[in-house]
Amino acid sequence: MKRLRELTSCCVLLAAIATAQSVPIDTQRSSMMLKVAKAGLFSAFGHNHEIRAPIASGSVDPSARSVRLKVDARALEVLDQDLEADKRAEVQKTMHSAAVLDTARFPEIEFVSRSVEMNGEDAYRVNGDLTLHGVTRPVVVSVRRQNGRYVGTATVRQTDFGIKPVAAGGGTVKVKDPVEVQFQIAVQGGMR
C-alpha cells in the first residue's frame, strides 16, 4: 500500500512537471532599476542616475528553465531625487532622445534566455540575448531565488548596443559606459 502511494505521488509529480508551462511575470509585483554612474575629471559636478524600468510583459518557464521579458523603453523614468524637477526632466528627455536610447525608433527592450545553469543553492547563471537600441547582444545575468521572487543583477555596456554615453564639458563630466541592472521578478500565482 505504501509503495502504491509513493508510485502515485511520483506519477502526479511527473505529470505536473510534464504539463508545466510558462507562467506570466506579475508586472505589478516586479521591478527593475538601472544604475548609471558618473565619471570624468569634473565628475563631482555630475550626478549618478537611478532609472525605473517597468517590466511590460514576460514569462518564466520553470520546466524549460527559460525566461523572456519586455520593457517599454518609453516608460523608463529618471528617479534622481537629488535633482530639481526641471533638471530631472532634462535628464529624462536626453535619455529618451535620438542621441541616447532613441525610444521613438526603438520602443522595446527585450531579454530572452538561451540557457540557465545552477550556480549554487537557489542561484542561477542565466545566459541570454538582450535587444536594446535595435541591437541584440549576449548578456549574462546572476539570479537567485529569494523571498518568493527571482532577484538579480547584470551589467550592460552602452557602447555594445551602439549607444554613446552622454558627456558634457568636453568629456570632463560624463556617464560611465557600464550600467548596472537590478531586478526583482515575481510570477503570477507565486514561485514554482
Measured CA to CA, the distance from residue 3 to residue 173 in angstroms comes to 71
**pLDDT tens, position by position, 35-44:** 987 654 434 4
For the chain, how far is it from start to end, CA to CA, in angstroms? Answer: 30
Measured CA to CA, the distance from residue 70 to residue 25 in angstroms comes to 10
Measured CA to CA, the distance from residue 160 to residue 16 in angstroms comes to 41
**pLDDT tens, position by position, 92-134:** 898 899 989 999 999 999 999 999 999 999 999 999 999 999 9
Cell numbers found for residue 12: 502526479
Cell numbers found for residue 51: 532609472
Question: Would you say 35 and 182 are in contact if contact means Cβ atoms under 8 Å apart?
Answer: yes
Measured CA to CA, the distance from residue 28 to residue 22 in angstroms comes to 18
Q: Which domains does the chain have, with CATH numbers?
A: 24-185 (2.40.128.110)
